[in-house]
Structure 1
Amino acid sequence: MAMQDELRPLVDQTNPRPPDFRTIAGLDSAYDDESGVVAAAAVILDSATLEPLETAITHGTNTFPYVPGLLAFRELPTSLAVLEKLTTTPDLLICDSQGLAHPRRFGFACHLGILTGVPTIGVAKTVWGNYIEPDPERGSSTDVRIDGELVGRALRTRTGVKPVFVSVGHRIDLDTACAQVLALTPKYRQPETTRQADQLCRQALRAALQAPLPTCRTT
């Protein structure tokens, strides 16, 4: 918690350049609670076609428990490791997690953005904070606030389907973040980056549990 408080002022909520994101990466992790094995996946998509350009996976063993508000300390080691396997540096990172919409305004997406320097967005399925349900049509949104402070938006990516919760991670503003999320959700509730990374890490975890793995401990 002290580290989150120390790093929070480094979060940049502006666009450092015109928001021309040509390559967008999604990250996700899957865990086996019994063995502690974790599989992390990264998928880079072409922003114009949403076709995959590159994928990477890595495995590790995680000893940090799930603690609400401290997801970064559970997922950062393997997330950073899988990003290092990519040959291309993406223009934008999409995380299946919170950014500023976090009790200490420093969720996983903020932490990853600070460490990588890459513009980063948090897109979560659940919410910290208060919001009013947006209108049912795709593209409708309402503000998410914690203690009266604007921290994100509830964004309807599919008509009549539950919204996702978008917040700034690093080096992007909230309006641009929401526009990017809508562009990444032409068919489904979740961004295509997240969907593909989720499928890949689950497949990698199943494969890892069926065969011995080299020792690779992350803490």
Structure 2
Amino acid sequence: MTIIEIPAGWPADEPTARAVQQELSGRLVRDEEGPAVGMGHVTGLDVAYDDERDLVAAAAVVLDARTLEVVEEATAVGRVSFRYVPGLLAFREIPTVLAALDRLTADPGLLVCDGYGLAHPRRFGLASHLGVLTGRPSIGVAKNPFTFTYEQPGPERGDFAPLLAAGEEVGRALRTRARVKPVFVSVGHRVSLPNACAHTLHLTPRYRIPETTRHADSLCRSALRDALGEA
């Protein structure tokens, strides 16, 4: 088992990480529509942790955007690269996530993160961070609300309500299953919010969370179990 080490020069404290966020956020592209729904590939990204052993396992699962069948998958296991600080979660996992992405041979297409993009205190969550670093279109689809207010969307699939931060719409609470609690969609990079929601609905034909996330969640947990078995 090869452990991805923390890159040299990786931010080690909160002020440095915030400064990196601020610098990278200036590179965000917010005026592109993004890839068409059902075209090309979509890639789910997720991580699993074992804090006692200071390990994080990342999974990248490429799906055919039309059929939602798995095209390719890759994993990586690395050291947790930053302590837990709300709003700085990306710094804990990005080196390992990038390592998993680098092991793919297929074009990842749209990146779908189990987390946030613009719906973030500094408008630069994990989906935005990964989008800027890779240059790829990205969205965040989170299971739980974070630092914003919202009204409950209508009860039917496709109903949504804006996520508001200081009066700005930073995402949407989107109902992917009728009368089931919503997911929280936000733009990462190079995708519009309506298109991000359209992709999310396409990726949830049967369950509340996207198929991309379901596959990546299962795979990263399996990779972590394998790594712990070898440790």
With normalisation by structure 1, the TM-score equals 0.93
Deviation at 1:2, TM superposition (A): 1.8
Aligned to 1:79: 97
Partners of 1:161 and 1:172 in 2: how far apart? 26
Q: Give, in whole Å, the separation in 2 of the partners of 1:53 and 1:63.
A: 29
Provide the rounded CA distance (Å) in 2 between the counterparts of 1:60 and 1:145: 35
Question: Shift of residue 69 of structure 1?
Answer: 0.3
Q: Give yes or no for contact 1:13–1:174 (8 Å, CA) kept in 2.
A: no
Cα offset, 1:11, TM superposition: 1.3
- Structure 2 counterpart of 1:180: 199
Cα distance, 1:4 vs. partner? 1.4
Q: 1:19 aligns with which of 36, 45, 61?
A: 36
Q: Look up the match of 2:21.
A: 4
Write the letter of the residue equivalent to 1:19: A
Q: Secondary structure at the match of 1:39?
A: strand
Note the C-alpha offset of 1:63: 4.3
Count the aligned residue pairs: 212
In 1, Cα distance between the equivalents of 2:26 and 2:79? Answer: 31
Give 2:114's aligned residue: 96
Cross-structure match for 2:184: 165
Structure 2 counterpart of 1:48, one-letter code: R
Residue 3 of structure 2 aligns with which residue? none
Q: Residue 110 of structure 1 corresponds to which residue in structure 2?
A: 128
Q: Please state how far the C-alpha of 1:62 moved relative to its aligned partner.
A: 1.2
Structure 2: distance between partners of 1:209 and 1:18: 38
Q: Which runs of 5+ in 1 are unaligned?
A: 213-219
Determine if contact 2:78/2:96 at 8 Å carries over to the other structure. yes
Change (3 A) 1:36 1:134: same
Distance in 2 separating the partners of 1:198 and 1:17: 25
- Residue-by-residue CA offset, 1:9-55 (whole Å, 9 max, x unaligned): 32112336662531000010101111012111100000111100000
1:145 and 2:164 are equivalent in the alignment = yes
Cα distance change on mapping 1:171 and 1:63 into 2, 3 Å: closer
Paired residue type of 1:4:
Q
Match of 2:209 among 190, 198, 211: 190
Q: How far, CA to CA, are the matches of 1:55 and 1:170 in structure 2?
A: 22
User: Deviation at 1:157?
Assistant: 0.4
Taking a change above 3 Å as real, the CA distance of residues 165 and 86 of structure 1, as seen in their structure-2 partners, is same
Secondary structure at 1:29 match in 2: strand
Sort the Cα spacing of 1:109 and 1:63 in 2 relative to 1 into closer, same or farther, 3 A. Answer: closer
* Residue 215 (structure 1) aligns with: none
Q: Distance in 1 between matches of 2:34 and 2:156?
A: 31
Q: Give the secondary-structure state (helix, strand or coil) at the position aligned to 1:10.
A: coil
Distance 1:186 1:40, change over 3 A: same
Q: Which runs of 4+ in 1 moved over 3 A?
A: none
State the alpha-carbon separation in 1 of the partners of residues 23 and 185 from structure 2.
23
Q: CA RMSD in A?
A: 1.2
In the alignment, the residues of structure 2 paired with residue 196 and residue 137 of structure 1 have an alpha-carbon distance, to the nearest angstrom, of 25
